[in-house]
Amino acid sequence: MTKRYWQKDIETISRRSLEDLQVKRLRSVFSRLYRTVPNFQSKCRESGVKPSDIESLKDIVKIPFTTSEDLRGGYPDGLLAVSRDKAVRLHTSSGTTGKPKALFFTKKDINQSADLIARCLTMTGTGSGDVLQNMMTYGLFTGAMVMHYGAEKVGALVIPAGPGSTERQVALMKDFGTTAVHILPSYALYIATFMARHGMDPRKDLSLKRAYMGAEPYSEKTRQKIESIYGIDVYNCYGLTEMNGPGVAFDCMERSGLHLWEDQFILEIIDPATGQQLPDGEQGELVLTTLCREAMPIMRYRTRDITRVKPGKCPCGRTHRRISRILGRTDDMFIIRGVNIFPQQIENVLMGIRGVAQNYQIVLESLDDITIRVEIASDMFDGNIERLLAIKKEIIEKVRSSVLVRPDVELLEPGTLPVADGKAKRVIDERTL
Amino acid sequence: MKVKQISVFLENRKGRLYEVLNVLATEKINIRALSIADTADFGILRLIVPDPDAAKKVLEKGGFTVKENNVIAIEVPDRPGGLSFVLKALQDCDINVEYLYAFVAKSQKDAIVVIRTENNDGALKALKHGEVKVLTPEELYGL
Q: Which residues in chain B are closer than 8 Å to A376, comparing Cβ atoms?
A: 9, 65
Residue B40, pLDDT score: 79
Task: Give the tens place of pLDDT for each residue, B107-131.
Answer: 677 889 999 998 999 999 999 888 8
- Indicate the residue of B37, B46, B65 with minimum beta-carbon distance to A376: B65
Annotated domain spans of chain A? 1-330, 334-429
Range of the domain at B109: 70-141
* CB-CB under 8 Å, B64 with A381: no
CA distance B69 to B7: 7
The pLDDT, as a whole number, for residue A98 is 60
CA–CA dist A220, A325 (Å, integer) = 8
| Gyration radius (Cα) of chain B, Å | 16
pLDDT at B17 over 50: yes
What string of pLDDT tens digits covers the 433 residues of chain A?
A: 467 999 999 999 999 999 999 999 999 999 999 999 999 999 999 999 999 999 999 999 999 999 988 998 899 999 999 999 999 999 988 655 567 899 999 999 999 999 999 999 999 999 999 999 999 989 888 889 999 999 999 999 999 999 889 999 999 999 999 999 999 988 898 899 899 989 999 999 999 999 999 877 788 888 999 999 999 999 999 999 899 999 999 999 999 999 999 999 999 999 887 899 999 999 899 999 999 999 999 999 999 898 999 999 999 999 999 999 988 777 777 878 777 788 888 888 898 888 888 788 999 888 788 999 999 888 778 888 888 999 999 999 999 988 888 999 999 988 778 765 445 678 888 776 5
Phi, psi of B84 (to 5 degrees): -65, -30
The pLDDT score that the predictor gives to residue A421 is: 47
Instruction: Please tell me the distance in Å from A225's CA to the nearest CA on chain B.
Output: 21
- Closest Cβ–Cβ partner in B9, B39, B67 for A413: B9
Q: Which of A385, A389, A414 sits opposite B65 (nearest CB)?
A: A414
State how far residue B60 is from chain A, nearest Cα, in angstroms. Answer: 8
Does residue B4 register a pLDDT over 60?
A: yes
pLDDT confidence of residue A426: 81
Query: CA of B127 to nearest chain A CA: how many angstroms apart?
Result: 23
Q: Can you give the pLDDT at residue A94? A: 65
| Contact between A215 and A134 (Cβ < 8 Å) | no
**ipTM given for this complex:** 0.78
* Chain A partners within 8 Å of B39 (Cβ): 385, 388-389
Reference B34, options B15, B48, B23; nearest CA is B48
B-chain CB neighbours of A383 within 8 Å are: 5, 7, 44, 46, 67, 69
For domain A1-330, the CATH architecture is: 3-Layer(aba) Sandwich (3.40)
Percent of chain B with pLDDT over 90: 52
Instruction: For A341, list phi and psi in degrees, rounded to 5.
Output: -130, 135
B42 and B79 share a domain? no
Residues of chain A whose beta carbon is less than 8 angstroms from a beta carbon of chain B are 197, 376, 378, 381-385, 388-389, 410-416
Which of A385, A391, A392, A417 to mutate against chain B (most B CBs within 10 Å)? Answer: A385
- Do the domains A1-330 and A334-429 sit in the same CATH topology, yes or no? no
- Assess whether pLDDT exceeds 60 at residue B24: yes
Q: Is the same domain home to B51 and B79? A: no
Residues B50 and B39 in one domain: yes
Q: Does the beta-carbon distance from A383 to B11 stay under 8 Å? A: no
B125 and B85 assigned to the same domain = yes
Q: How confident is the model at residue B139 (pLDDT cuts 50, 70, 90)?
A: confident
Model pLDDT, residue A414: 83
pTM for the model: 0.71
Query: To 5 degrees, how large is the angle CA A297–CA A422–CA A225?
Result: 105
Architecture of domain A334-429: 2-Layer Sandwich (3.30)
Helix (H) or strand (E) holding A88: strand A87-93
Q: Which residues of B touch A411 (CB under 8 A)?
A: 11, 41-42
Task: Say if the Cβ atoms of A381 and B41 lie within 8 Å.
Answer: no
Torsion of CA A137, A185, A265, A263, to 10 degrees: -100
* pLDDT band at residue B77 under the 50/70/90 scheme: confident
From B46, B69, B92, give the residue that closes a domain: B69
Question: Is there a contact between B41 and B109 (Cβ–Cβ < 8 Å)?
Answer: no
Residue A318's alpha-carbon distances to A5, A119, A154, A344, in angstroms, are: 9, 11, 19, 28
Mutate to test the interface with B, among A382, A396, A413 (most CBs of B within 10 A): A413
CB atoms under 10 Å from CB of A174, counted, come to 13
Closest by CA to A355, choosing from A388, A308, A331, A307, is A388
**Pairing, β A427-429 against β A356-364:** parallel
Same-domain status, B88 and B51: no
Minimum-distance CB partner of B44 among A385, A412, A414: A385
The Cα A26–Cα A171 span in angstroms is 48
Amino acid identity of residue A59, one-letter, is D
Q: How far is CA A411 from CA A193, A375, A402, A418, in A?
A: 17, 6, 20, 15
Residues B120 and B80 reside in one and the same domain: yes
Asked whether residue B83 falls in the same domain as residue B119, the answer is yes
Residue of A388, A389, A415 lying closest to B63 (CB–CB): A415
Task: For residues B56 and B92, state if they share a domain.
Answer: no
Nearest to A411 among B11, B46, B66 (CB): B11
Single-letter code of the amino acid located at A29: V
Cα separation, B97 vs B87, in Å, equals 9
pLDDT at A93: 80
- In angstroms, the CA A287 to CA A273 distance is 13
CA angle, A377 then A381 then A382, to 5°: 160
Within 8 A by CB and 6+ apart from A165, the residues are none
CATH assignment at residue B121: 3.30.2130.10
The pLDDT of residue A334: 81
